[in-house]
Chains A and B, each alone.
Chain A
Amino acid sequence: MAKGVKPRVKVPKSASAGDTITIKTLISHKMESGQRKDSDGNQIPRSIINRFVADFNGQNVIDVTLEPAISTNPYFQFDATVPESGEFKFTWYDDDGSVYETSKTIEVN
């Protein structure tokens, strides 16, 4: 079980219809690759975030598969076009089965 996992997201509070907005996301996670050994020579089991998904009003925006070589605290920045007011939903899937969710609303006028 990964400890201290905390998602952080930055989405503009408002935008004009059809605007392209920049979304930044970061989740604090140790992203243990599974390649390392501890001081006794035992392999440290892999523990990473393996999938990241962002949805807008139920419609998928991005869906990313994460691999073990990705560093601690994976950060994603991407653009999205918003046609209407709604809610962005962000979901991270952990190797241990945990799912971390957070959402942000955006006002489009």
Chain B
Amino acid sequence: MKKSVLIAAGLMTAGAAFAGEDAILSIEGEEFVTEAAAPAHMEYVDTIYSGWTFRTDETQALQTDDFDNPAFVFLDQAIDQWDTVEGSEGKACSSCHEDVADFAGLKATLPRVEDGELVTLTNLVNECVTERMGSEKWKYSGAKMSAMTALIAHQSRGMMMNVKIDGDAAPFWEQGKELYYTRVGQLDMACANCHEDNYGNMIRADHLSQGQINGFPLYRLKNAKINTTHGRFKGCMSNIRATPFKEGGPEFKALELYIASRGQGLSVETPAVRN
């Protein structure tokens, strides 16, 4: 269904907007999986696509070169932050963690359940900041936090998304799935209405993707900064005129787990570039 829609849309518009559909994402010589068979738990979708495949040639090109990718300016800031002593304990990230590269693989498995609670990368960073560095909690989607989580998630780039959804994670995953398919807001829309039923179609000027989060935290040309998953969820909810849940709250964390599981089989692209 999707392909026919694209052809029709291609005839009407410049066509170039969709030229990247079958392109292969290769960053600094490394190839990424941007199209894969959907994981078994997805009932209505056969193939999953990274958000990268839905973007224009120009936006796609920005991500293929680490120098052109504007997100790396923010990653550089996070590298400085990594060595910055903060809080009452006189510690920086680097006081305990030798090398940020040690976090390779972490992002691919998050969110995960720890002691009966669902934790995201941001939670883990804040645990360090408050408990081990003795500092004030960083704002959930603040500049410092989004840059740091992007830096840590970047270490997993090229690895496969692989979150645990069974065992003790199952109730959270179910909650996330429930949220994904529940219509909310004045426009009475669920995530699935756009990102499952209509991906590949245009919603006004926007080309709808599948809403995959394998590239998060990512740089958006729209606001020229690093955007987090929860920030993006909030944006989506505002667009459908719903009252957004709280960033870092249980609803968004469960949703993050569920959406991450919908991307099982795609490569982590952090930091991706989107419009």
Q: Which residues of A contact B (CB under 8 A)?
A: 4, 6, 8, 10, 24, 26, 28, 72-73
* Complex contacts, B170 vs chain A, CB 8 Å: none
Cross-chain pairs A/B with CB under 8 angstroms, 21 sampled: A4-B77, A4-B80, A6-B73, A6-B76, A6-B77, A6-B80, A8-B67, A8-B72, A8-B73, A8-B76, A10-B67, A24-B67, A24-B68, A26-B67, A26-B73, A28-B73, A28-B76, A28-B77, A72-B224, A73-B70, A73-B73
Give the complex CA separation of A56 and B95 in angstroms. Answer: 40
* Complex contacts, A26 vs chain B, CB 8 Å: 67, 73
Interface residues of B in 29-83 (CB under 8 A from A): 67-68, 70, 72-73, 76-77, 80
* Complex contacts, A24 vs chain B, CB 8 Å: 67-68
* Complex contacts, B70 vs chain A, CB 8 Å: 73
Closest to A6 in B: B76
* Complex contacts, B224 vs chain A, CB 8 Å: 72
* Complex contacts, B67 vs chain A, CB 8 Å: 8, 10, 24, 26
Closest to A71 in B: B224
A108 to chain B, nearest CB (A): 21
Interface residues of B in 174-201 (CB under 8 A from A): none
Give the complex CA separation of A46 and B179 in angstroms. Answer: 48
Among B70, B72, B73, B80, find the residue whose CB has the most chain A CB atoms closer than 10 A.
Answer: B73
* Complex contacts, A10 vs chain B, CB 8 Å: 67
Give the complex CA separation of A28 and B67 in angstroms. Answer: 13
What 7 A-B pairs come out closest when comparing CB atoms?
Answer: A10-B67, A28-B73, A24-B67, A6-B76, A73-B73, A4-B77, A8-B67
* Complex contacts, A4 vs chain B, CB 8 Å: 77, 80
* Complex contacts, A28 vs chain B, CB 8 Å: 73, 76-77
A88 to chain B, nearest CB (A): 15
A30 to chain B, nearest CB (A): 12
* Complex contacts, B68 vs chain A, CB 8 Å: 24
Give the complex CA separation of A79 and B77 in angstroms. Answer: 28
Closest to A25 in B: B67
A22 to chain B, nearest CB (A): 11
Give the complex CA separation of A83 and B65 in angstroms. Answer: 27
* Complex contacts, B73 vs chain A, CB 8 Å: 6, 8, 26, 28, 73
Give the complex CA separation of A6 and B77 in angstroms. Answer: 9
Give the complex CA separation of A10 and B65 in angstroms. Answer: 11
Closest to B79 in A: A6
Closest to A27 in B: B73
* Complex contacts, B76 vs chain A, CB 8 Å: 6, 8, 28
Give the complex CA separation of A72 and B223 in angstroms. Answer: 13
B62 to chain A, nearest CB (A): 12
Give the complex CA separation of A24 and B62 in angstroms. Answer: 13
* Complex contacts, A8 vs chain B, CB 8 Å: 67, 72-73, 76
Give the complex CA separation of A24 and B224 in angstroms. Answer: 20
Give the complex CA separation of A2 and B268 in angstroms. Answer: 34
* Complex contacts, A6 vs chain B, CB 8 Å: 73, 76-77, 80
* Complex contacts, A73 vs chain B, CB 8 Å: 70, 73
Q: Interface code B107-132, partner A: CB below 8 Å = 1, 0 otherwise?
A: 00000000000000000000000000
